[in-house]
């Protein structure tokens, strides 16, 4: 029999930031660039950290998008694991960018909110009349490639966003392609585990959308954007 050497792969833990509140009690929109974790989000982040600590996972690098909700989530994870490690910022992994809500015709609002996360989504589809899926891929994937080219790490933690996570997971599911699966659920505070080898197509998905406080997602049947759209409509009518 010919000799066989097991492939060597490295581990990417890909998290979504913990829960946040985008509307205050009066219905006023809170700036998504500055919004912090809410109480539920803080607990989600700490719960994820406890899972990593229990499994004795140690990170070589921790990278966030730079938005406060990703930084705070990463810091809470590290507080639980006891690691003192510098949190790095990769602006290319900011969340998919929307346009101005007030400029979207009323009849187009539902599609603008929900279309990007509905099934297999064409690259031309825009999120809230802003960035397209193609533009999202164009900025997210080069940063993924650069991360893989860096041989200094074995285990990395990325704390990012629902849309960005879907782009990375879709890329992995298609072994390096650009098909966007908008219906991949990403609960706030969830953990995904992906392994990467040396070849660009060498992706192995180990876990998707693991949510430590509620592993079976028992009480959730709607997506984040569906809930946000419902809130937006309710506050707009009040």
From the list 84, 91, 40, the residue with the least C-alpha distance to 64 is 91
Overall size of the chain counted in residues: 238
What are 9's two structure tokens? 């792969």
What are 145's two structure tokens? 């490639």
Q: Tell me the C-alpha to C-alpha distance, in Å, between residue 197 and each of 61, 102, 176, 177, 186.
A: 17, 45, 12, 16, 24
Q: Is 206 annotated as a binding residue?
A: no
Any alpha helices (H) in 106-132, and if so which ranges? Answer: 109-114
| Cα 190 to Cα 215: distance, rounded to the nearest angstrom | 9
Burial class (CB in 10 A: 0-12, 13-18, 19+), 199: exposed
Burial class (CB in 10 A: 0-12, 13-18, 19+), 229: middle
Query: Where is the binding site, in residues?
Result: 69
Query: Where is the binding site for substrate, in residues?
Result: 69
């Amino acid at each position: 029999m010919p000799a066989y050497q097991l492939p060597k792969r490295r581990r990417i833990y890909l998290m979504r930031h913990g829960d946040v509140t985008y509307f205050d009690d009066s219905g006023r929109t809170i700036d998504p660039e500055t919004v912090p974790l809410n109480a539920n989000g803080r607990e989600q982040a700490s719960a994820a950290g406890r899972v990593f600590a229990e499994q004795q996972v140690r990170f070589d690098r921790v990278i966030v998008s730079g938005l406060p909700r990703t930084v705070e989530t990463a810091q809470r994870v590290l507080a639980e694991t006891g690691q003192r490690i510098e949190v790095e910022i990769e602006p290319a992994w900011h969340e998919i960018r929307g346009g101005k809500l007030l400029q979207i015709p009323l009849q187009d609002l539902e599609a603008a909110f929900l279309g990007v996360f509905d099934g297999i989504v064409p690259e031309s589809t825009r999120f809230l009349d802003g960035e397209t899926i193609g533009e999202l891929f164009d900025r997210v994937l080069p940063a993924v490639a650069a991360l893989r080219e860096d041989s200094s790490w074995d285990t990395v933690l990325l704390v990012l966003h629902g849309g960005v996570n879907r782009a990375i997971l879709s890329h992995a599911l298609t072994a390096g392609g650009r098909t966007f699966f908008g219906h991949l659920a990403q609960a706030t505070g969830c953990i995904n585990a992906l392994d990467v080898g040396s070849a660009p197509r060498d992706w192995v998905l180990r876990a998707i959308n693991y949510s430590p406080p509620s592993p079976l997602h028992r009480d959730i049947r709607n997506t984040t954007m569906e809930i946000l759209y419902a809130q937006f409509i309710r506050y707009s009518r009040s």
